[in-house]
Structure 1
Amino acid sequence: MKVGSVSRNTLAALGQAVLVSALMFLVYRVVVHSAGLEELGIWSLIMTGSTVARAADVSGAGGLGRFIAMIRAGTDIGSDIVETTHTVLFTSAAINLTIGTALYFLAPFVLRFALTPELLPRAIALLPFVVVIIVLGGLAGAVISGIDGTQRVDLRAMVAVSSAVVSFLIVLVLVPRIGIVGFGIAQILSPLVTIIAGWTVLHRQVPEIGWFPCRWQQKAFRVTTGFGLKLNGISLLNLLFEPLVKFSFGATGGASQVALYEIASRVITQIRGFAVAASMALIPVFASLQPHEQARRIVLLEKAVKATAYAAVAAAAAAILLAPIVSLIVLCKVSAPLLYMSVPLIFGWTMQLPTVPVYLAAQTDGRMRWNALSHILVAVAVIAGALLERAGFAETLLKSIVVGLLLSGLTVLVGNVPMLGLADMMKKSKNRLALAAVVIVLLCAASWVGVGVLAK
């Protein structure tokens, strides 16, 4: 891959993240104004089922781009690109349909712990949407990953933005008329558009895959699910994060508190997602590099780490500025409780951001034990915070999330840097990383003081 195309893909990924994030907050505005904050909280809770599905989908859908890049580069000469692609799609559909059906029957019992009796029937009525979204979402993710593997992230960005635009337009038309059900319809049609448009794009880049998947191969199944087990083993650990946090907020503060967390976390995770999206363009590049190209890999990683350090500062500043704006857009007021929740999340997520390139390098190699441990530490911190919150210790859940994120980032560096031979690279980057951390601390501290003044 040429340097120019790396830059093109990075810019495309950033553009996608910006546009999709803007559309997402506009969707939230329509939903909150037309259906209410409580309805958004209910939807957020039931959609934790999609997180369960992503964690249990070991088809290798999320890693399809890696396989396509390696096969095309000749670093995986034992695999067939058609059999690999088709096998992943068939396996993903089967797994997600099974998981979605199981969640449909189990969710009513689990939701009793997070919703009041009067809200429970409204949540149960939305469960069929979740099942369809799970199946289509898995297939859409595989197709998008496949496009990444052709190293045409610019085309993937066009597909993703088109899907987001379709979803927004449907929400704009249906939610004011039929409420949260209209949001569910939009969430179904969005991945469907991604699958159709994305497969068309992928077919143009890899014509041999044909127009319809028709080949399932046992050898390809073993290879892709083997990688999927490693990758989704980490996702399973990550599963303990969002659902547990949302259920804990639901149990202690109700559906409205869940909605506040959803909005607050989305502000920083979407902005942080710009840098993550840009870093994701490195995965197919790393996968296509030959073993003797380690020096080039280290150079790319050094540039990426330094860039994400700057991006972390920019993300913190942007999120601090954007949080009250989002509050005005979605809630029609500057909400002090929302901002009190936003600032700690901004601090935790941006401090972790510069570790992303190292995390992705280890993931591409399939050496993910330190990545897994980083998620375990987050899960342990969240569980501890949830238990303390239930025991009556106020705001411990939010503090525990921040502690978990900080420990997670530190673990990624401490474990992966020596394992991947990146010690010299990190020494060259340490000053910029330290400076970025200091600036983020100062920004968040000043923001916290400002929120206190606003609350008074």
Structure 2
Amino acid sequence: MGLSAGVVRFVAQALGQNDGKRAADIIQTVVLTIGVSMAVLLLAGYPLFTRALHYVMPARSLPVAVSILPYALASLWSLLVVGVLSGGLDGCMRMDLRGLLMGGSSVVYLGFTVLLVPRMGLRGVALAQLIQTAGLAVIMWGVLRRQLPDLPWVPWRWQYRVIRQMFSYGANYQVITFAGMLFDPVVKGLISRFAGLGALGYFEMANKLISQGRSIIVEATRVLVPAMAALQERDLDQATELFVRSHRLTFYVSAVFYGLLGVGLTVANLLWIGHAEVLFVQFGLLMNLGWYVNTIMKPAYFANMGSGDLKSNVVSHLIVLFLTPILGAGLGFYFSGLGVAMGTAISLILGSLYVLVSYFHHAGLNWRKNLIPKGMTLLFLSSLGLPVLSNLGVGQSEGLARAAIFAGLGCLPLLVLAWVNPERSLLFRRGEPT
């Protein structure tokens, strides 16, 4: 995963230097490195995986599990190659093509599943997934060749210097990946320990509601990785200007999104659960705040990835990883599951602020003046206060109609402030760079 993530930055850097041949060499080298090494590992591990299934699967399900194992491993291999090629398209600034291909492949997966399952059972699902991932790898290579004419029909060129240049970046990214993988199970384990599985269910529902919407903003901001990588080679002042504009726009969108989402938590609670559940709303308000600050940090986070300086990103993830169990357990001891959510939100906020302030300092910007962009202080305060005011008294809610009225009253001032903000016209401006 470290090498795949590095493809975005190094391909964009090469294209920023107008060196299409080097960009093609990077993609070929990483595809061959991951493809060959993972093929060897998966083939060598096949007997171990088969033996492991005997220990973890019920006897009646074992034959089916063993029969789909080859499909699963082949799908994994194809998916790793797809990850490299997706990074190549991102590096070429063609996230639109990547999104269309990924979305189209999901439709193909569904179609083959419907076609094959009646005849093959669970093996039909596994075969459908293999067709999806392998077909996506082939088609994505063809699309990538149109962006980089120096790519051959089949990858064959491998260069050690490419791997050597990407090693440090990949190693840092692996630390980030590892820390990110541990965050979710640590939080869930703490809530389960201090509040039980019922509270964990409400936390998961609230957190998922926020994270699904958050992903739209984050993915839109990810374009900064190749953009900053290219500008680092041409114009550092323009790179700083791009960050400032991205920070303003992300701040504006985040304030509107998280403000409206927070205001509507009680309505979501009643629609989803069917009755007023205070814990769901409390979890939602806390995680909404934590992910709010984390999203505002993303332009700085992706700018670091584009520039190749991952130090502050790594430190940020380590701050979150170490503070979450400490604060979560400490506050959870006194406030049960709600205390764990408090500790998690505080950890996210502190880790995110570290990245943001570090980047402002590195770019020579005054973080005290620029952290909250000019003209957005009232919008920011409203996005923090209105969700709390709108959800007061959820335990005594008289029903969905009353909750909807309170939510509407909370949304109105937020929408007015968002409408009169100059960033609105910039956001919806078409045909011009933002």
Please state which band the TM-score falls in when normalised by the shorter chain: 0.7 to 0.9
1:354-407 CA-partner distances (Å, limit 9, x unpaired): 221112112211222222221111112222255458868511322221011110
- The 3 A distance-change label for structure 1 pair 167 and 367 is same
Give the Å deviation of 1:248.
4.1
Under a length normalisation based on structure 1, what TM-score does the superposition of the two structures give? 0.69
Q: Report the 3-state secondary structure (helix = DSSP H, G, I; strand = E; otherwise coil) of the residue aligned with 1:69.
A: helix
- Equivalents in 2 of 1:455, 1:197: separation in Å? 55
Which residue in the other structure is 1:312 paired with?
A: 254
Which residue in the other structure is 2:321 paired with?
A: 379
Which residue in the other structure is 1:12 paired with?
A: none
1:358 equivalent in alignment to 2:297: no
User: Which of 322, 333, 342 matches 2:284?
Assistant: 342
Structure 1 range deviating more: 282-291 or 160-169: 160-169
1:419 equivalent in alignment to 2:362: yes
Structure 1 range deviating more: 177-186 or 372-381: 177-186
Which residue in the other structure is 2:177 paired with?
A: 235
- The 3 A distance-change label for structure 1 pair 392 and 441 is closer
Which residue in the other structure is 1:74 paired with?
A: 17
1:266 equivalent in alignment to 2:266: no
The alignment covers a number of residue pairs equal to 388
C-alpha contact (below 8 Å) 1:96/1:134 kept by paired residues? no
Mark the structure with the bigger radius of gyration. 2
- Equivalents in 2 of 1:221, 1:430: separation in Å? 40
| 1:443 alignment partner AA | L
C-alpha contact (below 8 Å) 1:305/1:429 kept by paired residues? no
User: Which of 68, 87, 102 matches 2:29?
Assistant: 87
1:368 equivalent in alignment to 2:334: no
Identity %: 23
- Equivalents in 1 of 2:174, 2:218: separation in Å? 18
1:277-300 CA-partner distances (Å, limit 9, x unpaired): 121112212111255522222221
- The 3 A distance-change label for structure 1 pair 370 and 226 is closer
- The 3 A distance-change label for structure 1 pair 314 and 163 is farther
Q: Report the 3-state secondary structure (helix = DSSP H, G, I; strand = E; otherwise coil) of the residue aligned with 1:214.
A: coil
Give the Å deviation of 1:226.
2.6
- Equivalents in 2 of 1:258, 1:211: separation in Å? 50
| 1:397 alignment partner AA | V
Considering Cα pairs closer than 8 Å and 6+ residues apart, tell me whether 1 or 2 has the greater RCO: 1
1:23-48 CA-partner distances (Å, limit 9, x unpaired): xxxxxxxxxxxxxxxxxxxxxxxxxx
C-alpha contact (below 8 Å) 2:172/2:310 kept by paired residues? yes
Which residue in the other structure is 2:228 paired with?
A: 286
C-alpha contact (below 8 Å) 1:354/1:433 kept by paired residues? no
1:232-274 CA-partner distances (Å, limit 9, x unpaired): 2222222221232344456667777666544433322221222
Give the Å deviation of 1:335.
7.2
- Equivalents in 1 of 2:114, 2:142: separation in Å? 27
| 2:174 alignment partner AA | N
C-alpha contact (below 8 Å) 2:328/2:341 kept by paired residues? no
Which residue in the other structure is 1:154 paired with?
A: 96
| 1:216 alignment partner AA | W
User: Which of 223, 234, 244 matches 1:302?
Assistant: 244
Which residue in the other structure is 2:352 paired with?
A: 409
Which residue in the other structure is 1:276 paired with?
A: 218
C-alpha contact (below 8 Å) 1:267/1:319 kept by paired residues? no
1:443 equivalent in alignment to 2:386: yes
- Equivalents in 1 of 2:389, 2:126: separation in Å? 39
Give the Å deviation of 1:227.
1.7
Structure 1 range deviating more: 90-99 or 300-309: 90-99
| 2:241 alignment partner AA | V
| 1:314 alignment partner AA | V
Q: Report the 3-state secondary structure (helix = DSSP H, G, I; strand = E; otherwise coil) of the residue aligned with 1:209.
A: coil
- Equivalents in 2 of 1:375, 1:433: separation in Å? 28
- Equivalents in 1 of 2:11, 2:126: separation in Å? 32
Q: Report the 3-state secondary structure (helix = DSSP H, G, I; strand = E; otherwise coil) of the residue aligned with 2:392.
A: helix
Give the Å deviation of 1:61.
0.5
1:401-433 CA-partner distances (Å, limit 9, x unpaired): 101111012111222211122338953854445
C-alpha contact (below 8 Å) 2:260/2:387 kept by paired residues? no
- Equivalents in 1 of 2:122, 2:186: separation in Å? 23
In structure 1, runs of 5+ residues without a counterpart are 1-56
C-alpha contact (below 8 Å) 2:276/2:395 kept by paired residues? no
Q: Report the 3-state secondary structure (helix = DSSP H, G, I; strand = E; otherwise coil) of the residue aligned with 2:336.
A: coil
- Equivalents in 2 of 1:343, 1:176: separation in Å? 45
C-alpha contact (below 8 Å) 1:351/1:437 kept by paired residues? no
Give the Å deviation of 1:173.
8.1
Q: Compute the RMSD of aligned alpha carbons.
A: 4.5
- Equivalents in 1 of 2:138, 2:243: separation in Å? 34
- The 3 A distance-change label for structure 1 pair 99 and 253 is farther
